[in-house]
Amino acid sequence: MSAVVDWIALEWRAIVIPGAVFVATLIATFWLRSLGYERVGLWVKKTGWKGEQILVRATRGPSVLWCFLVSAYLAVAVSVIPMQWKAPAHDVLASLLVLSVAFTLYGLARETLDYYAARWKLPAGGLAPAKTAAKATIAVLGILTVLDIWGLPLASLLMVIILVALVVAVVFKDPFADIFAGLQLTATGHVKEGDFVRLPSGEQGNVVGIGKRYTRMRGLDESLMIVPNRKLTESALVNYGRPLKKAKDPFRFFARSHITELTGLRARNLRELADTLKTAPDPIVYYHTHHFIFEHHYLTPEPSNDFGVWVADVLGDQALGERLASVDTFEFTSLAMLRDRLVSIMEESLAHAGGSRDAPVGREFYFLKSRSVVFATPYVAHDLREFVEALRNVSFGSLYFHIFESRMRLGKGRNDFSTWIEENLGENDLAGRIARLYPYTYTLGGLRSALIQLIEKRIK
């Protein structure tokens, strides 16, 4: 114990001077810290700056540590510690100070970006790329500063970092491009989950998720598409926005194909034509009043039928042929009603004329029928936007099936489109407009355009 007392009596300056420097510096730095916050408060009152709380919150805790580190650094500098120990002690203290400042700067940058994101009403994560860039920049600068403090060769290290970065950039060019594009999509909000988009390459559908590298889209046929993020940022895509009202049940597009069959029935004159037509099955009536529309879809059809054409061309009764041809099929909601109307016109003519001439041999009227094969297409619509996009792509066979087949042959009295739009979407006005379209005066291409125009006018 006496030896320790003797050593302190001899070396008291080696203890007291560093201690005094540490305490004095600590007091001075705490005073400067307090003065600094006071000046900032006065400046805020004068300028009305809104970022005071961010600055104070980010630096209040770390600044206490800075005061101790600076005080310890000066205390070590005036101490009698051997140089081989003093230099590492200085390096440790300086490194701790640099790392603390770096963490503080990152926190300050993050809170500042959050503040302006809320002020500018950016979408959630809108400044995520800026945060990532700030974090990387501050981390690199902090590490390089620490390495410089310890005397490591920065020039060689920087060259290695640059070479590695170039190799990584070349090898992972596409993944990095996709990741950056994903950050860009999130930041700008130009494409969001739920949007309906169409790419120039033809892909279209609802965005169901935006990942780090890929965006998932649900197509009109309910297939799941995985699209690289860069494809959404580099191409001139069309974004139709958020989905419209969802239907109770989706609309599934069907198409039809048909085979024409001989029935073995024929008529040589008007009497036989009327008598055979009275009992003819619906497929026969449907074929002879509708086949021209689909087989010659590129022409604008007239409200004609095979019966009127045969009577005028073969039997030579132009007046009766015109009466039969002028029967408007759109007025009838069933094939039975249409058949009765045609038969009544023939019976009326027979009553007045008393009969008709026979057709030349080989030019009798042969009754035909069509056997339809209905099959599902890959197109499904959950709202009007998906519906109109599917309508652009379905075949004429599908369009014909849902407009003509459903109304007459299936006895619904109206087309499938109007029924679905009214019952599943509640769009009664639009359903009525489509139902009132007179399809017999359009080509199938023109009918498709008219339907698209009506629906697009509604969704805009």
Is residue 86 one of the residues assigned to a domain? Answer: yes
Q: What is the mean pLDDT of residues 402-414?
A: 71
The pLDDT of residue 210: 82
What percent of the chain clears pLDDT 90, i.e. is strictly above it? 12
* Shared-domain flag, residues 264 and 232: no
The pLDDT of residue 344: 94
* Shared-domain flag, residues 232 and 270: no
The pLDDT of residue 276: 93
Is residue 246 one of the residues assigned to a domain? Answer: no
Is residue 23 one of the residues assigned to a domain? Answer: yes
* Shared-domain flag, residues 102 and 130: yes
The pLDDT of residue 32: 87
The pLDDT of residue 334: 81
Q: Which of 152, 170, 188 is the last residue of a domain?
A: 170
* Shared-domain flag, residues 379 and 417: yes
Q: What is the mean pLDDT of residues 414-423?
A: 89
Q: Of 4-8, 24-28, 295-299, 439-443, give the range with the top mean pLDDT.
A: 24-28
Sorted by sequence, the CB contacts under 8 Å of residue 211 that are 6+ apart come out as 182, 229
Q: Which domain holds residue 135?
A: 2-170
Region class of 92: left (phi > 0), else alpha (psi between -120 and 50), else beta: alpha
Amino acid of residue 315: L
Sorted by sequence, the CB contacts under 8 Å of residue 146 that are 6+ apart come out as 95, 98, 99
* Shared-domain flag, residues 28 and 9: yes
Q: pLDDT tens across 315-358, in order?
A: 989 999 899 988 887 778 788 888 999 999 999 998 887 667 89
Chain length of the chain: 460
* Shared-domain flag, residues 191 and 136: no
The pLDDT of residue 120: 59
* Shared-domain flag, residues 202 and 223: yes
The pLDDT of residue 269: 92
Q: Which of 142, 170, 198 is the last residue of a domain?
A: 170
More confident residue, 386 or 131: 386
**CA atoms of 416 and 200, how far apart (whole Å):** 31
pTM for the full predicted model: 0.48
Q: Are 305 and 370 in contact (CB under 8 A)?
A: no
Pull the structure tokens for residue 120: 């500018």
Tell me the helix, strand and coil percentages in the chain, rounded to 5.
65, 10, 25
Confidence band, pLDDT 50/70/90 cuts, at residue 121: low
* Shared-domain flag, residues 48 and 78: yes
More confident residue, 360 or 439: 360
Q: pLDDT tens across 77-104, in order?
A: 877 777 777 788 878 888 888 888 888 8
Q: What is the mean pLDDT of residues 363-384?
A: 88
Is residue 245 one of the residues assigned to a domain? Answer: no
Please list, residue by residue across 270-299, b when 16 or more beta carbons sit within 10 angstroms of its beta carbon and e when fewer do: bebbbebbeebebbbbbbbbbbbbbeebee
The pLDDT of residue 251: 92
**CA atoms of 270 and 350, how far apart (whole Å):** 8
Q: pLDDT tens across 222-267, in order?
A: 788 888 877 877 777 777 766 667 888 999 999 887 788 889 999 9
Q: Of 171-180, 272-281, 328-337, give the range with the top mean pLDDT.
A: 272-281
Q: What is the mean pLDDT of residues 204-210?
A: 81
More confident residue, 52 or 157: 52
Q: Residue 6: pLDDT above 80?
A: no
The pLDDT of residue 219: 78
The CATH number covering residue 191 comes to 2.30.30.60
For residue 169, the SS3 value is: helix
Residue carrying the six token digits 């503040």: 115
Q: Which of 146, 170, 194 is the last residue of a domain?
A: 170
* Shared-domain flag, residues 260 and 235: no
138-142 long-range CB contacts below 8 Å, 24 or more apart? 138/102, 138/105, 138/106, 138/109, 139/102, 139/106, 141/102, 142/98, 142/99, 142/101, 142/102
* Shared-domain flag, residues 227 and 342: no
Helix 83-119 vs helix 52-78: angle between axes, to the nearest 10 degrees? 180
Is residue 244 one of the residues assigned to a domain? Answer: no
Q: Across the chain, what does the average pLDDT equal? A: 79
Backbone angles phi, psi at 371, to 5 degrees: -100, 120
* Shared-domain flag, residues 260 and 199: no
* Shared-domain flag, residues 275 and 392: yes
More confident residue, 65 or 14: 65
User: What is the tally of structural domains in the chain?
Assistant: 3
Confidence band, pLDDT 50/70/90 cuts, at residue 128: low
The pLDDT of residue 7: 47
